[in-house]
């Protein structure tokens, strides 16, 4: 049997402790050992954003769906109120995706898709459709895009306000 240099020798039962070709350096703390502001959007962050948005919506008597995406556009958290309109789930996710792709609140780009606007044909040009209705807001940490939140179910201005309120409560900005 050929032994790999640096790999622990098997014991008398033929087993060896797990081998890690690149062991962690103890002089450098592991990135997860402390909350550094450059971490990506976590599932805990996403769950907190959903909870904050739902609390704010309850205060206003609005029934919503909330979607939170990470920087890669992957769904981290989703919740639709039992009494929210069914399409709210789809619109919340598409609003979040649009905000993420353009790194801009969907409320700020509504005019760009009107006839003659800069992005007039963009909503139908992609495999995953964008939705240019207020309620999608990108999420930044330490000046870096880390995800997006989308809210559907209320009036567009309400959805936009709820998304911003959730970000403010959870991430402070």
pLDDT tens-digit series, residues 61-97: 999 999 999 999 999 999 999 999 999 999 999 999 9
Summary mean pLDDT of the chain: 83
List the 144-152 sheet strands across, edge first.
Answer: 75-80, 65-70, 144-152, 136-141
127 pLDDT exceeds 60? yes
| Cα radius of gyration rounded to whole Å, the chain | 22
- 156, 107 contact by CB (below 8 A): yes
What is the distance between the alpha carbons of residues 42 and 70, in angstroms, rounded to a whole number? 8
The structural domains of the chain, ordered by start, are 43-171 (3.30.450.150)
31 pLDDT exceeds 50? no
The number of C-alpha atoms within 13 Å of 71 and in the hemisphere containing its C-beta is 10
pTM: 0.75
DSSP 115: T
Q: What is the pLDDT of residue 116?
A: 79
């Amino acid at each position: 049997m050929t032994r790999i240099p640096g790999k622990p020798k098997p014991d008398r039962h033929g087993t060896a402790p797990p081998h890690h070709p690149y062991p962690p350096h103890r002089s450098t703390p592991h990135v997860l050992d402390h909350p550094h502001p450059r971490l990506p959007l976590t599932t805990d962050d996403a769950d907190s954003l959903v909870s904050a948005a739902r609390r704010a919506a309850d205060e206003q008597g609005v029934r919503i769906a909330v979607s939170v995406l990470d920087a890669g556009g992957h769904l981290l958290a989703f919740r639709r109120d039992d009494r929210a309109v069914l399409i709210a789930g789809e619109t919340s996710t598409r609003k979040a995706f649009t905000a993420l792709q353009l790194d801009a609140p969907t409320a700020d780009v509504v005019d760009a898709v009107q006839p003659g606007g800069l992005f007039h044909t963009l909503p139908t040009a992609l495999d995953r459709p964008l939705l240019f209705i207020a309620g999608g807001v990108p999420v930044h940490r330490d000046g870096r895009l880390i995800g997006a939140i989308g809210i559907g179910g209320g009036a567009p201005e309400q959805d936009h306000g709820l998304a911003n309120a959730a970000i403010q409560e959870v991430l402070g900005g």
